[in-house]
A and B are shown apart, each in its own frame.
Chain A
Amino acid sequence: MAVVPVARPPLTLAERTYLPQIAAGLRTTWRHLVRPKQTLEYPEQRPALPPGYRGVPTLVRDPHGREKCVSCQLCEFVCPPKAIRITPGEIAADASTAHVEKAPKEFEIDMLRCIYCGMCQEVCPEEAIWLQNQFSMTGTSREEMVNRKDRLYELGGTLPDQHLKWDRKAAAEQAGNDRH
């Protein structure tokens, strides 16, 4: 192994007075002083969120306004802090989406328990639950911090995807292809 002798010159007189170093330091801090400020003034300025940001979990509708959740309860079972509670329900037989069969009667996400891990979104076979961009949840009581179904759809809005899985299933069934 090659040994590289590194020169260790003794400190010069200027270095030992410490004054040039202080002057250089003052120059650095002055540059920071006149530089544009780094911080955001929060309530007025919001940070630009990166794509894939995991904010508050929400429920979404498809472009036709159908609620996508079929209350399979996978998210409820996968949720590590057990923040999700689903009460499954049936879709009325005379509804236009009756072939979907099930929809949640009640869907609650306790935001005091939620850890924003995104496993619910990952596990959802219907792409019905999404962690969106809202990052600040406030409330004055425990009740208020539980997002119920109507609030979840209000937060979630519509997902503009074009899978329209259940519409195609219905069309295939009508065309005589029962295996879809």
Chain B
Amino acid sequence: MVDLYLSLPPLVQGLLKGLAVIMVIFPIGGACSLAERKVSAWIQGRPGPNRAVVPWVAWIPVLGPFLQRLGLFHVMADGGKMLFKEDALPGHVRKFYFVLAPLVAMMPALTTVTTVPVGAYLDAAGRAVPLVLANVDIGILAVFAVSSLGVYALILAGWASNSKFPFLGGIRASAQLIAYELSLTLSVVPVFLWINAPGTPGTLSLARAVEFQSGAWQGFTAASWGGVWFLFLMPVSALVFLIALFAETNRHPFDMAEGESDLVGGFHTEYGAFKWGLFFVAEYAHMLIGSAVFTLLFLGGWNPLPWVPLATLVDWLTVLTPLAAHPIAVGLLSIGIFLGKVLALVFFFMWVRWTVPRFRYDQVMELGWKKLLPLSIANLLFYLGAIAALTP
């Protein structure tokens, strides 16, 4: 199977990888939209969507009603609706750019997925090998570089719509994304300073960041630092990164670009049907990738607990069954742990949405430029000093 795949021409391999990304991101995006509706409903004291069902699933005794209550089929209903409804093209838009914008929104979202490792398996030597579509050494740089292209989609959509509210939404989005990108980038610099200690080969790889958090407990010695997640080692970095992430993904309380109370629908006011759906999926994809990067950098990636790396967990499980040491089992286990953390973070995004009211636009700018940026610079200087002092 693997040999067959490797014998294919590189172009076909790339196409297969691309299809795999689409096949994974679209369903997860759909599931996220359902989760959003469900979590919103629960927080508001409602049961949420629970009616749609496919008849032959409803006939399954216990599982069918359970899936119906969960609202699982609303994902399909929503998707089907968006596919089949009329895709109106307003007369006053710049058609080429109008159609281009949703595609530009999707491309960075789908591209960044390839550089994010989603799990690991242990090779014969017991080393964790990351599972990633494109294991590029520039890791985090690639993610930042490509995902920040997403703002072009918002600007393009806002401008091509050729009407006031989308235009304002696009302007707001661009200003906000530029403001928070600085703090976002500066907040992860300490992490990579820590990883790239003097004397070690330099890397920006996300998998290396996880490897760094995979130490086991070795008593009260300096070696035990390896098992601490960066969340505890660099709480301010994590906080700034998280806040900037909310702003970068246009989530509440920073959803300036589509604040419906002042901008109707913001940049996607003029969009409908599947083109709007693409923006929607792109937003969730950005959220997923942001959560994934946060998990990799600050939450120990696929390591179950601080000081309990994946390898230790596999050792424990091998006592129960030798099957647990199989690379596929380890891979699935690590993907499960990683996805669990990412989805918990996505839930946190939704939880915050119903907790914090939307900021005013000037507050967003003030928080970005006057608070987070100085804070992240001070944080960087602090860790510069700390790392310099710790290095013998």
Residues of chain A having any CB pair with chain B under 8 Å: 22, 25-26, 28-30, 32-33, 35, 37-39, 41
Asked if B356 and A32 sit within 8 Å, CB to CB, the answer is: no
Asked if B354 and A29 sit within 8 Å, CB to CB, the answer is: yes
Asked if B356 and A22 sit within 8 Å, CB to CB, the answer is: yes
* Distance A22 CA – B239 CA, assembled complex (angstroms): 13
| Chain B at the A interface: SS class | loop
Asked if A29 and B47 sit within 8 Å, CB to CB, the answer is: no
> With A33-B39, A33-B42 given, is the CB distance from A41 to B355 under 8 Å?
no
Residues of chain B having any CB pair with chain A under 8 Å: 39, 42-47, 50, 351-352, 354-356
* Distance A166 CA – B214 CA, assembled complex (angstroms): 93
Which residues of A have CB within 8 Å of B50? 41
Residue from B43, B47, B355 in contact with A39 in the complex, judged by beta carbons closer than 8 Å: B47
Asked if B46 and A33 sit within 8 Å, CB to CB, the answer is: no
Residue from A25, A35, A37, A38 in contact with B356 in the complex, judged by beta carbons closer than 8 Å: A25
Can you show 5 pairs from A to B with CB atoms below 8 A apart?
Answer: A29-B351, A29-B355, A33-B42, A33-B351, A38-B46
> With A22-B356, A25-B356 given, is the CB distance from A37 to B46 under 8 Å?
yes
Q: B41: nearest residue on chain A (CB-CB)? A: A37
Asked if B351 and A32 sit within 8 Å, CB to CB, the answer is: no
Asked if A26 and B47 sit within 8 Å, CB to CB, the answer is: no
Asked if B45 and A37 sit within 8 Å, CB to CB, the answer is: yes
* Distance A29 CA – B354 CA, assembled complex (angstroms): 7
Which residues of B have CB within 8 Å of A39? 45-47
Distance of A3 from chain B, by nearest CB (Å):
34
Q: A19: nearest residue on chain B (CB-CB)? A: B239
Which residues of A have CB within 8 Å of B352? 22, 26
Which residues of B have CB within 8 Å of A29? 43, 351, 354-355
* Distance A38 CA – B42 CA, assembled complex (angstroms): 10
Which residues of B have CB within 8 Å of A22? 352, 355-356
Which residues of A have CB within 8 Å of B351? 26, 29-30, 33
Which residues of B have CB within 8 Å of A41? 47, 50
Asked if A37 and B47 sit within 8 Å, CB to CB, the answer is: yes
Which residues of A have CB within 8 Å of B355? 22, 25-26, 28-29
Residue of A28, A29, A37, A38 contacting most chain B CB atoms (<10 Å): A29
Asked if B43 and A38 sit within 8 Å, CB to CB, the answer is: no
Q: What 8 pairs across the A-B complex have the smallest Cβ distances?
A: A38-B45, A25-B355, A29-B355, A33-B42, A39-B46, A33-B43, A37-B47, A29-B43
* Distance A22 CA – B348 CA, assembled complex (angstroms): 12
Which residues of A have CB within 8 Å of B39? 33
